[in-house]
Amino acid sequence: MGFWGIEVKPGEPYGYQSDEFKGRLHITQATLGLGESKERSIVQCSMGYKSPIFLCSLLPNKNESCPLDLEFEGVDGLIDFSVIGKRSVHLSGYFVDDDRDARDDYES
């Protein structure tokens, strides 16, 4: 499955549907997109009825990249990533193969 990356644009929430087939999604980095605005861009995620949680806050010309370490798996269902601010944010990471991780010992 390997690499995963999206650009989350202001006003265009990105819906990620986690499910068992895809394996766990490990999001490891956020980087500010291009633009003129000097305002911060905050990435938040929303799941169902819960309040949105801020995942990172990027500051133009100060801190434009932020390491993350988030995992989403099947039980998380639909996750909405959205941006508060005027510049988009690129999220990147990779899928973790549960089999690799679980070292399925049933055959041993």
Residue ranges that bind a second copy, judged by CB under 8 A: 1-3, 5-7, 18, 26, 28-29, 31-33, 40, 42, 45, 47, 50-51, 53-59, 61-76, 79, 90, 92-94, 98, 100-103, 105-108
Residue 76: phi and psi, rounded to 5, are -75, -15
Contact of 54 with 33, CB cutoff 8 Å:
no
Question: With respect to a second copy, which residue has the nearer C-beta, 11 or 106?
Answer: 106
Question: With respect to a second copy, which residue has the nearer C-beta, 10 or 92?
Answer: 92
The three-state secondary structure class of 76 is: helix
The type of residue at 107 is E
